[in-house]
A and B are shown apart, each in its own frame.
Chain A
Amino acid sequence: SAFTSGVSLESSPNTMEHIKCPILQEIMKWNGWGYVDSKFQFNKKGQAEFTGKRYRLSGMVMPALKEWFESTFGASLQHKTPAIPNSSAVQPPILNEAFVEDLKSTGIPFSQDAEDRVFRAHGHCLHEIFALREGKVGRVPDMVVWPSNHNDVVKIVELACKHNVCLIPYGGGTSVSSALECPPEETRTIVSVDTSQMNRILWIDEKNLTAHVEAGIVGQELERLLNESGYCTGHEPDSMEFSSLGGWVATRASGMKKNIYGNIEDLVVHIRMVTPQGVIEKSCQGPRMSTGPDIHHFILGSEGTLGVVTEVTMKIRPMPEYQKYGSVVFPNFEQGVACLREVLTLITNVFAGHALKPQKFYITKFKGFDPNRLCVATLLFEGDRERVLQHEKQVYDIAAKFGGLAAGEDNGQRGYMLTFVIAYLRDLGMDYYVIGESFETSVPWDRVLDICRNVKERIIRECKERGVQFPPLSTCRVTQTYDAGACVYFYFAFNYRGLSDPVHVYEQVEHAARDEILANGGSLSHHHGVGKLRKEWMRETVSRVGMGMLKSVKDYVDPGNIFGNRNLL
């Protein structure tokens, strides 16, 4: 192993003034998902292909995609809605000169460049990306700073308090809750605190199987570095290529292997956060404590309203000896859900990930099954070889009881791969009048089928009532399972030709769908968070007293509302 336990890996503190930070927008799209070089497009023959070299799908031609795209949405390659290449004029920054002066003296790199600011003014909600594609830019941060370690953050927060400047922490920028949007009414200088340079593993403790990591590290980098020393965290949210550890903590993230490794709240052992009142952290790394309410739970899900998470001690595990993908096709969604429920009561800890989708997408035909109703579960088994094989057999046996048939490793692996490229599909749609998004909830088992049916139907009905000319795509998938329930994703997209304000229609439909989710016993969010998009439902979600509790924490920790992104409350 390259690392010995307990050894600090901290590199020498940087002394350089104004290191120019790598310009993210050179490799990442400023108005769409992911890498600049990776995207779906239709080639000259009208066939869909995925560009670049980064993904297994890269360079592949997918003739079926065009037909699916056209028949699902009524879209046509003739009707294009290309993105505008540049953004319109960005408002000049509102600068607090005294703050800028003090900041300069710290030597922490910062920028007032328009592109840097625009890049950090948004997440990936539909309305955010749609506006960018039209070149529209609203309130953006006035500056971006790049702290390179915990102490830098302490300095920045101190200065912000001193000069009454608004700070918005920025990790991977993958938010889908309007959490990164600058409040338009904010008149102070808004500083985006980009944690991307705080991306080191500070130490690995092999005795206790923990790693101490700077919070700006992004998921794939964290996994890559840990893998080098034979470990992993097992935390793999769909956004793991871009989302950061600090972001996971701030939103209560969940990964697709959580059935083995746990969600972020199960994985953290220690959190360090810089707040306007100072640094909050625990005094030891005991695996569990009875010391009043767990202060980690004020931080987990605080969505950047209390401070900047700088360092996290996380549980790690040796890399799995053996990994096996799998898939099962069920005659219908109902059977699939019943099977997942059963699998969960019988087997824990090995059955890693699974997703259950009722929509034919990569398996379109299967012997004897009604193609309009069939549903696929993708599986991933991890652990030692013997147990993996044993559990694989168990799962397939259970599946058989529910009419499920094994559909091969390839289909399973393809399913997993698709979770990473699916976000690129939206950009393709947006080139051709199709807009859409996914949103999620968590719901008790007995409600899963009801909520799926009702929300899908509500979406279809709302689209009709709001003048959408084409039948929308309205589908769902079970992505996580718990003892007491499941996480359900809804996918909603439609062809907006003929609508004057498609984003408004989209938002109204999503709003109605969320109302329907809540009325059917679903939660406001399973892991995306609340941000500003779902704030209006917080009070009914956590009760008046609950809101009061959260508010009083905010009032104590940040009385000057330095962390003024106005999320959550």
Chain B
Amino acid sequence: FLYVHRDPMLKKRDDFEDILEERRNCSDLRYALKCYTPVVYKGLTPCKAGVLKNMVLQSDQLHYVINQVSKETGKAPEDVQEEASAILEEMAHRMQLSTVRFFAFTLCKVFKTLFRSICVNEEGIQRLQQAIQEHPVVLLPSHRSYMDFLLMSYILFTYDLALPVIAAGMDFMGMKIVGEMLRMSGAFFIRRSFGGDKLYWAVFSEYVKTILKNGLAPVEFFLEGTRSRTAKSLTPKLGLLNIVMDPFLKGEVFDINVVPVSISYERILEETLYARELLGVPKPKESTSGLFKARRVLSEDYGSIHVYFGQPVSVRSLAEGRVNRCQFNLTPRHIPKRPSDDVHSFVNAAAYRLVRAQEENMVLKPWVLLASLLLQNHHQDLDQDRALTEEALWLRDVCRQYGAFLHWPDHVPPSEVVSSSLDLHRGLVRISEGRVRLAVEHAGPSEEQLLNQAVVVLSCASYRNQALHVFLRPALLASAMHIATSSNKQEVFNSFSFLRNMFSNEFILCPGATMQDFEEACFLLVKTGVLQITEQEVLSTHRGHRTLAFLTRMMDPFLQGYQVICMFLCEEASEALTEKTFIPAVRGFMVKQLLSGRLRYTEVLSSDLQKNALAALLRLGAVLKTKGYVDY
């Protein structure tokens, strides 16, 4: 095995600047009405929304599909053209500077009440400005909150950068006025599912490509497809990424710059909302009135936000040596084609790389470490000043050695850091007489109590999850050592590989990178003195015990969750389940197990984990899907 990793401690990251600070001192109105003259892509001829629509409707691509659909359905081409026009009407953004200014003004007010600061890395902004001038730009922010895309546009407006057009889910459209306002601030709306609808796909992809190819505006979308309710990064969706890479692969632009953006919230607005959703309380339909009911939210303190604009990634350099662009030489480029295998695997690998880039630049707050510790000890009280602070400092050091982007204020006494973190998240903890624990009542025999407990645990877990990517590989190795029958290196590797494979729907693990991940884990654990690795064996050191214990405990809820689902499938699910009934059935089974004390971790109630486990079992062939039924 070769250890070729750069030391993660050496990762260089930019400094932040708080953009709210200035807002607290000067007029919001003047800010919203400031002169806005963003730099644009070279050779850009500004273009009105109507012109853009015409460009799309008159494109060869769309013409081809319109004729195709017309032949297949027997409808007149003019009618299909009308349909296309209607789809475009429903989809297209109508960006207006006045609306943007309105949002800028309103958001100023809202942000200043909700957040202590909004910190942005200015060097990232400068890189982005450069990138926008050179090539068409795609912005890929992480997605943890509804706030994300308004926040993005707000920041870009603040820094006088070109405002993006944003791919938004159709559900926003339900919010009458707000939906239209979002549209006027640059959002365009896509249906959540349009599987076989060729025409829809053609209009949609051509719309995005036209904006991108002509450099009319940066295109922004969420690689994860939806907000992550768990704060773990989600497996990337490839649809839009495929679309935005296409103009480069087909030579229609020289290059495309993709900019991963990491948005980290110290406290997530939707915290308990997400937890309830994961526990099966259905997601409230987005509605304007619902949004206003959320006003209660406005009275609370949500700490700070960190937004890190990552290094722009050139699609050209990503594709260098990986995709043979000659494959597009033999068919007219406007005829839609499924991506070839090598394009698919290239886009997939790129997507993972970009999600990893988002993860790496997520700022972790001390609370993330406290949440991890409290979760692992949630059955006992911890002495705040000694036990918890001491543990947190230990974990802080481990975290830093693993290269985490941890914002721990070193100039503040550790006990103060801990207490102010606990204070911000006081809804999740109980402090009495200097002792701290999670705010969970020791569950009685009722399901309701159990679910209340689970809400707190899952909320807390969402903070721990922010740090998962830092510990994931060493933790998989620690768990692998735990389940391997010996310390033989090959055997440990096999267990590692098994766990990694098992959990590849749960965590961001790049396909085909088992060996690199193993090596990275080995490197980190050897470097920190936790393991000794010889030719043949992987051995833990005496002083490494504490780290290994922490890491295995981090994985335990997931392991137990997957185990109990297997148990459920073997013991309870006597007949075939439908996908719809699976989750409630598993949940019922788990509740019983938890109430009877046979299960330890309430976290397993998360529907996210249950869905991921099912997907993994399907992928591994342990479960079969037949005409909508799930069989095992």
Contacts and interface: CB of A to CB of B under 8 A. Distances in A.
Nearest to B249: A519
B328 interface: yes
Contacts of A457: 254
A458 interface: yes
B326 A451 contact: no
A454 B249 CA distance: 12
B333 A519 contact: no
Best-surrounded residue of B252, B324, B332 (most CB of chain A within 10 A) = B252
Interface string A431-472: 000000000000000110011011001100000000000000
B251 interface: yes
Nearest to A449: B252
A442 B37 CA distance: 42
A165 B545 CA distance: 78
B400 interface: no
Contacts of B252: 450
B325 interface: yes
Interface in B315-371: 324-326, 328-329, 332-333
Nearest to A458: B254
B305 to A, nearest CB: 36
B332 A521 contact: no
A540 interface: yes
A520 B251 contact: yes
Contacts of B329: 521
Interface in A492-519: 518-519
Contact of A446 (B324, B326, B332): B332
Contact of A450 (B251, B326, B332): B251
B326 A454 contact: no
Nearest to B334: A446
A438 to B, nearest CB: 21
B251 A519 contact: yes
B59 to A, nearest CB: 12
A520 B325 contact: yes
Contacts of B328: 521
Nearest to A454: B254
Contacts of B254: 453-454, 457-458
A451 B332 CA distance: 15
Nearest to B325: A519
A465 to B, nearest CB: 11
Contacts of B333: 446
Contacts of A446: 332-333
Interface string B246-262: 00000110100000000
A453 B324 CA distance: 19
Given A454-B254, A457-B254, A518 B326 contact: yes
* Chief secondary structure at chain B's binding surface: loop
Interface in A308-328: none
A540 B326 contact: yes
A537 to B, nearest CB: 10
Contacts of A518: 326
A454 B332 contact: no
A518 B325 CA distance: 8
Interface in A260-278: none
A453 to B, nearest CB: 6
Contacts of B332: 446
Contacts of B251: 447, 450-451, 454, 519-521
Nearest to B254: A457
Nearest to B323: A519
Nearest to A519: B325
Interface in A31-78: none
Interface in B505-548: none
A454 B255 CA distance: 9
B100 to A, nearest CB: 31
A447 B332 CA distance: 10
Contacts of A540: 326
A519 B321 CA distance: 12
Nearest to A450: B251
A519 B327 CA distance: 8
Interface string A118-138: 000000000000000000000
A447 B325 CA distance: 13
A458 B333 CA distance: 21
Contacts of A451: 251
A454 B254 CA distance: 5
A517 B255 CA distance: 15
Nearest to B60: A446
Interface string B424-462: 000000000000000000000000000000000000000
Nearest to A373: B43
Nearest to A461: B254
Interface in A140-180: none
Nearest to B248: A454
B253 to A, nearest CB: 8
Contacts of A519: 251, 324-326
A534 to B, nearest CB: 15
B278 to A, nearest CB: 46
Contacts of A453: 254
Interface string A358-369: 000000000000
Interface in A518-567: 518-521, 540
3 closest Cβ contacts across the A-B interface? A519-B325, A520-B251, A521-B329
Interface of B: 251-252, 254, 324-326, 328-329, 332-333
Given A453-B254, A454-B251, A520-B325, 12 more contacts: A446-B332, A446-B333, A447-B251, A450-B251, A450-B252, A451-B251, A454-B254, A457-B254, A458-B254, A519-B326, A521-B329, A540-B326
17 contacts: A446-B332, A446-B333, A447-B251, A450-B252, A453-B254, A454-B254, A457-B254, A458-B254, A519-B251, A519-B325, A519-B326, A520-B325, A521-B251, A521-B326, A521-B328, A521-B329, A540-B326
